[in-house]
């Protein structure tokens, strides 16, 4: 079993790598313009070029992928000649600083032709001073300087240039200023170290935004899973025990009706009846800063929609498996031996009939996490699926990659759980 789990772990790593490359290439080749999505349809070529440079999107595709995967702070540190450190402020924002020789943290701004350093001293306090001695002259005679700016970039400034730059200001948007750098390296630790980068759409770290969305989707999917799976398995086994009976036909037709109805139609139908006509529950999910469990009334309709959709599908799979098992020779042999009917069902039939549903259920865990985007959009639910949809429309590659890695991990891990569950349902199954 240990070797089997280890093989699955390496399969997870390989799958994540292949999916990350695929998502990156598909996003790159898809139509759309990130700068126009963020800045608006009337963005000028200069604004577009400035935006792409600050986001690192002007770099070759292989450089951008390696920066997303491995980070680039180690490369940027060599450009500056000083170590780099990421800190979290009291307000919860991540900031990058260079570490000066005396241990102080320092960043720079360009004012005219003067480099102005802002240092956080090791003993406490902040110091600002001109730092023009750091200008370096290249072979062409130009004065250049690599440093950390106040927007979490390592940048290359050139003395005497008056480049226009459009900088993203939180709460304000993109603002024009002068004295911009000639080259940018947007700093990130890389996905391997838990930093998938900054969202191109919101300007916020993807790791923080996606954690909240993942939590919300886990609550929604987990609640639906806990409700629907035991109910669907029970009803499916009841239908399969008496093939062709009235009970079987009613449950089969009802399950088919729910499973073939589109999610958006089921959601809108429930909103119309329970929220508009009866006024029993809210028709939308507006949490604000609250967690979903703080407003359980808003979870009722999304959970009910998912439950009805999944109920029919799992019920029919379980019913078909139960019918097949009840026709097996060993079940007939048990009847001929005179064993009680319910003992035959519970001891011999149920365990084998659960093999196929367990596989389907584990596959649908991944669907519940990433495939409920329609339900989330219908109810305005702030989950992972809606987050990835919005990111795809904006070509937000950092958010898409992070979401894809989460879904791959869920898919592989749920299949591992299914494989382990098989050994309890059928003792003949063993993994070397």
Asked if residue 15 belongs to a domain, the reply is no
> Backbone phi, then psi, for 51, in 5-degree steps?
-60, -50
Do 377 and 270 share a structural domain? yes
Quick check: is 391 in a domain?
A: yes
Whether residue 352 contacts residue 425, with contact meaning beta carbons closer than 8 Å, is answered with yes
- In tens, the pLDDT along 154-213 reads 999 888 766 667 665 545 556 666 667 888 999 999 999 989 888 888 878 898 888 888
DSSP annotation string for 38-77: HH-TT--HHHHHHHHHHHTTTS-HHHHHHHHHH-SHHHHH
Same domain, 237 and 382: yes
pLDDT of residue 429: 58
- Per-residue model confidence (pLDDT) at position 141: 80
- 265 with 396, same domain: the answer is yes
Residue 330 has what pLDDT?
81
pLDDT category at 82 given cuts 50, 70, 90 is very high
Record the tokens describing residue 213, joined without a space.
């969305």
Residue 181: how many CA atoms within 13 Å on its side-chain side? 24
SS3 126: strand
Query: Residue 129's pLDDT is what?
Result: 92
Please say which residue of 155, 187, 219 terminates a domain.
187
Residue 431 has pLDDT above 60, yes or no: no
Rounded average pLDDT over 389-408? 88
Residue 123, pLDDT score: 77
Residue 198 falls inside a structural domain: no
| 209 vs 39: which has the higher pLDDT | 209
> Is residue 49 assigned to a domain?
yes
**Together in a domain, 139 and 269:** no
pLDDT at 163: 66
Q: Which of the 8 DSSP states describes residue 277?
A: I
Residues 401 and 323 in one domain: yes
Same domain, 368 and 416: yes
> Are the CB atoms for 232 and 318 separated by under 8 Å?
yes
pLDDT digit string, tens, across residues 269-326: 989 998 888 888 888 877 766 778 888 888 899 989 888 888 888 888 888 888 888 8
Same domain, 219 and 144: no
The answer to whether 113 touches 216, Cβ cutoff 8 Å, is no
Q: Same domain, yes or no, for 133 and 219?
A: no
With respect to residue 25, please indicate whether it lies within any of the assigned structural domains: no
Q: What is the pLDDT of residues 338-353, one digit of tens each?
A: 888 888 888 778 877 7
Res 191: pLDDT: 92
What does the radius of gyration of the chain's CA atoms come to, in whole angstroms?
29
Please answer whether residues 17 and 11 qualify as being in contact, where contact means their C-beta atoms are separated by less than 8 angstroms: no
How much is the pLDDT for 66?
92
Contacts by residues 139-144 (CB-CB < 8 Å, ≥ 24 positions apart): none
Average pLDDT, the chain: 83
Same domain for 180 and 286 = no
Read off the pLDDT of residues 231-261 as tens digits, 9 standing for 90 and up.
Answer: 888 888 888 888 888 888 888 888 888 878 8
Domain carrying residue 47 = 42-70+72-187
Helix/strand number for the chain, H first, E second: 16, 11
Residue 288, domain CATH: 1.10.3720.10
Count structural domains, the chain. 2
For residue 162, the model assigns a pLDDT of 63
Of the residues 187, 220, 253, the one at which a domain ends: 187
- Is residue 5 one of the residues assigned to a domain? no
- What is the mean predicted confidence (pLDDT) over 365-373? 70
Same domain, 140 and 289: no
Start-to-end CA distance of the chain, whole Å, equals: 6
- Identify the domain boundary among 157, 187, 217: 187
Residues 262 and 364 in one domain: yes
Q: Are residues 178 and 257 in the same domain?
A: no
pLDDT at 254: 85
pTM, two decimals, is 0.79
Cβ atoms of 107 and 153 within 8 Å: the answer is no
**Residue 1, pLDDT score:** 66
Residue 11 lies in a domain: no
pLDDT of residue 374: 84
Q: What is residue 262's predicted lDDT score, i.e. its pLDDT?
A: 82
Give how far Cα 410 sits from Cα of 66, 295, 382, Å. Answer: 24, 26, 19
Residue 343 has, within 13 A of its CA and on its CB side, a CA count of 6
Asked whether residue 8 is assigned to any structural domain, the reply reads no
CA angle 314, 223, 357 (to 5 degrees): 20
Instruction: Kindly tell me if the per-residue pLDDT of 79 is higher than 70.
Output: yes
């Amino acid at each position: 079993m240990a070797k089997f789990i280890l093989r699955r772990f390496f399969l997870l790593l390989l799958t994540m790598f292949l999916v990350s490359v695929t998502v990156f290439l598909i996003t790159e080749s898809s139509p759309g313009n990130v700068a126009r999505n963020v800045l608006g349809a009337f963005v000028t070529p200069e604004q577009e070029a400035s935006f792409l440079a600050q986001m690192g999107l002007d770099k070759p595709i292989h450089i951008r992928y390696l920066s997303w995967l491995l980070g680039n702070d180690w490369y940027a540190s060599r450009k500056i000649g000083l170590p780099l450190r990421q800190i979290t402020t009291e307000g919860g924002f991540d900031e990058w600083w260079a570490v000066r020789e005396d241990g102080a943290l320092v960043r720079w701004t360009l004012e005219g032709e003067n480099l102005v350093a802002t240092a956080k001293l090791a003993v406490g306090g902040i110091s600002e001073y001109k730092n023009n001695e750091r200008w370096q002259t290249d072979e062409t005679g130009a004065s250049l300087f690599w440093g950390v700016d106040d927007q979490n970039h390592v940048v290359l400034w050139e003395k005497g240039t008056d480049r226009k730059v459009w900088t993203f200001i939180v709460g304000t948007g993109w603002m024009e200023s002068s004295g911009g750098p000639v080259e940018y390296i947007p700093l990130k630790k890389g996905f391997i170290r838990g930093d998938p980068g900054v969202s191109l759409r919101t300007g916020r770290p993807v790791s923080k935004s996606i954690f909240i969305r993942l939590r919300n989707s886990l609550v929604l999917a987990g609640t639906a899973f806990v409700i629907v799976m035991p109910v669907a398995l029970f009803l499916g086994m009841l239908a399969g025990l008496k093939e062709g009976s009235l009970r079987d036909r009613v449950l089969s037709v009802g399950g088919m009706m729910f499973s073939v109805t589109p999610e958006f139609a089921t959601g809108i139908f429930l909103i119309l009846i329970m929220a508009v006509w009866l006024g029993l529950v809210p028709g939308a999910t507006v949490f604000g800063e609250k967690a979903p469990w703080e407003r359980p009334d808003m979870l009722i309709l999304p959970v009910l929609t998912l439950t009805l959709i999944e109920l029919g599908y799992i019920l029919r799979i379980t019913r078909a498996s139960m019918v097949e098992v009840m026709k097996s020779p060993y079940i007939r042999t048990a009847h001929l031996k005179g064993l009680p009917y319910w003992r035959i069902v519970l001891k011999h039939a149920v365990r084998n009939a659960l093999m196929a549903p367990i596989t389907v259920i584990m596959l649908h865990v991944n669907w519940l996490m990433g495939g409920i985007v329609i339900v989330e959009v219908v109810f305005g639910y702030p989950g992972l699926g809606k987050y990835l949809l919005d990111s795809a429309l904006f070509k937000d590659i950092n958010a898409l990659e992070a979401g894809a890695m989460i879904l791959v991990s869920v898919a592989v891990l749920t299949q591992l759980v299914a494989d382990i569950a098989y050994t309890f349902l059928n003792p003949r199954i063993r993994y070397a």
